């Protein structure tokens, strides 16, 4: 199934008044309906207030941010904090639905609309009636379909494929993308007019590395959750392990942190999570940034390549800075990049 339906359940607003750990849970026995929003950094507090402000209206909202930053969480929280909370929440991953059937899925069809369409079928718009439609990975939607979607937003009406009658679309639209929107527009993947319509309210989730102060709260939240789930006594984090977790850059953002905590809960034999339980990539972060390890038995050529690569990553790929550190002219550095077939 390419969609999830959270609708039609009882609504309970977040318990906490501070965004440190807001929990919307419409039915405690159903994990699917639970939305936890942890984050006390200024950025996350602002996002939480924004969610509460926009929840009441039916304006479209565009949620942006790298993969794993919490876009799904924000979409669900908007729905669950809105007057539509008891009604359906339909989440569609635009990348997961084949492009040639997307419009059929979105608008539905009348019987006989095309060969094989024997019975009429309701689309996502009808399924989400009076509720919320969350279009994840919006930039993956075909631009022709994006134009039709814009028309639905503006006219609040649509027709089933092969249908004559206009139907009312009382649907709150939320969309998300992990792409850089300007680049997606420049590349022709996202229609500018649709972007303008959605970006009236844009919620941008910063990557975890830019809000590291949220890490301890997130860790204790996930520790509590996974120790309970795996029926273990509540574990703590040793100081040294916490130091590693704080210094790591988290390319996979909160999703990576969550998976890592679950792994640590399962693997850790003691009450405290210690560095030896953490994946080696965490311990390597510090070393990666300012130490180069070249094992004995390495050829001069390979060593030179390793030094160049490590230096480039140390200066964020700034060739001029790398050349200065390496004591080379820019031209000499470029020649070496070419010789070692290092991508620029
Ligand atoms: N603020 C948050 N508080 C608690 N858990 C979060 C938060 N943001 C994300 N998560 C968790 O991290 C994982 C990834 O979040 P998700 O919303 O799916 O990210 P995205 O859609 O941006 O890829 C999910 O398991 C989600 O529950
Ligand atoms: Mg997502």
DSSP string across 212-253: GGGHHHHHHHHHHHHHHHTT-PPPEE-HHHHHHHHHS--TTH
Gap between the Cα atoms of 275 and 243, Å rounded: 9
Atom number of ligand 1 nearest to Cα 75: 17
Gap between the Cα atoms of 258 and 222, Å rounded: 6
Q: Which of 22, 32, 73, 206 to mutate to test the pocket of ligand 1 (most atoms within 8 A of CB)?
A: 73
Tell me, using a 6 A CB cutoff, whether residue 238 lines ligand 1: no
Core vs surface per residue 287-320: b (16+ CB within 10 A) or e: eeeeeeeeeeeeeeeeebbbebebbbebeeeeee
Residue minimizing CA distance to atom 10 of ligand 1: 70
Atom number of ligand 1 nearest to Cα 35: 27
Determine phi and psi for 199, rounding to 5 degrees: -85, 10
Judged by DSSP in three states, 4 sits in: strand
Ligand with an atom nearest the CA of residue 205: 1
Nearest to 36 by CA among 168, 318, 228, 179: 228
Q: List the chain residues with pLDDT less than 50.
A: 1-5, 7-32, 287
Quickly count helices (H) and strands (E) in the chain: 14, 14
Ligand with an atom nearest the CA of residue 255: 1
Sign of the Cα torsion 320, 321, 322, 325 reads positive
Q: Give me the residues paired with residue 207 across strands.
A: none
Ligand with an atom nearest the CA of residue 65: 1
CA–centroid distance, residue 102 to ligand 2 (Å): 19
Element (H, E) at 259: helix 253-267
CA–centroid distance, residue 74 to ligand 2 (Å): 10
Residue minimizing CA distance to atom 23 of ligand 1: 68
Domains of the chain, start order: 3-206 (3.40.50.300), 209-286 (1.10.8.60), 292-339 (1.10.10.60)
Rg of the chain's alpha carbons, rounded to an integer? 25
Tell me, using a 6 A CB cutoff, whether residue 69 lines ligand 1: yes
Element (H, E) at 23: strand 21-25
Q: Which of 48, 208, 255 to mutate to test the pocket of ligand 1 (most atoms within 8 A of CB)?
A: 255
CA–centroid distance, residue 172 to ligand 1 (Å): 21
Task: For residue range 276-301, list pLDDT tens digits in order.
Answer: 999 988 877 654 556 677 777 788 98
Judged by DSSP in three states, 203 sits in: strand
> Phi/psi zone of residue 186: left (φ > 0), alpha (ψ -120 to 50 degrees), beta?
alpha
Atom number of ligand 1 nearest to Cα 63: 22
Tell me, using a 6 A CB cutoff, whether residue 71 lines ligand 1: yes
Gap between the Cα atoms of 202 and 162, Å rounded: 34
Residue minimizing CA distance to atom 8 of ligand 1: 70
CA–centroid distance, residue 68 to ligand 2 (Å): 7
Tell me, using a 6 A CB cutoff, whether residue 274 lines ligand 1: no
Ligand with an atom nearest the CA of residue 217: 1
Determine phi and psi for 109, rounding to 5 degrees: -150, 160
Atom number of ligand 1 nearest to Cα 178: 22
Nearest to 92 by CA among 156, 131, 149, 136: 136
């Amino acid at each position: 199934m390419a969609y999830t339906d959270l609708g039609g359940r009882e609504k309970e607003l977040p318990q906490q008044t501070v965004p440190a750990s807001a929990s919307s849970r419409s039915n405690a026995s159903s994990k699917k309906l639970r939305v936890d929003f942890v984050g006390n950094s200024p950025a996350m507090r602002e996002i939480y207030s924004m969610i509460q402000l926009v929840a009441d209206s039916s304006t479209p909202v565009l949620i942006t941010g790298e993969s794993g930053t919490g876009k799904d969480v924000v979409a669900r929280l908007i729905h669950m904090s809105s007057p539509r909370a008891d009604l359906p929440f339909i989440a569609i991953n635009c990348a997961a639905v084949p492009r040639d059937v997307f419009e059929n899925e979105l608008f539905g069809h009348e019987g006989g609309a095309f060969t094989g369409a024997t019975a009429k079928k309701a689309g996502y718009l009808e399924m989400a009636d009076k509720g919320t439609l969350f279009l994840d990975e919006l930039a993956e939607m075909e631009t022709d379909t994006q134009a039709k979607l814009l028309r639905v937003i503006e006219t609040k009406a649509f027709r089933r494929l092969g249908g004559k009658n206009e139907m009312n679309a009382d649907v709150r639209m939320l969309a998300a993308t992990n792409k850089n929107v300007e680049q997606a527009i420049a590349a022709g993947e996202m229609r500018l007019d649709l972007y303008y319509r959605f970006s009236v309210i844009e919620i941008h989730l910063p990557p975890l590395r830019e809000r590291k102060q949220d890490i301890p709260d997130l860790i204790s939240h996930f520790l509590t959750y996974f120790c309970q789930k795996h029926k273990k006594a509540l574990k703590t984090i040793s100081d040294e392990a916490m130091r590693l977790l704080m210094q790591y850059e988290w390319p996979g953002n909160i999703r990576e942190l969550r998976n890592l905590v679950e792994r640590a809960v399962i693997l850790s034999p003691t009450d405290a999570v210690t560095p030896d339980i953490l994946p080696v990539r965490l311990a390597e972060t510090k070393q990666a940034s300012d130490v180069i390890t070249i094992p004995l038995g390495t050829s001069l050529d390979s060593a030179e390549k390793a030094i160049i690569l490590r230096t480039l990553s140390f200066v964020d790929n700034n060739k001029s800075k790398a050349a200065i550190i390496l004591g080379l002219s820019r031209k000499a550095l470029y020649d070496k990049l070419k010789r070692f077939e290092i991508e620029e």
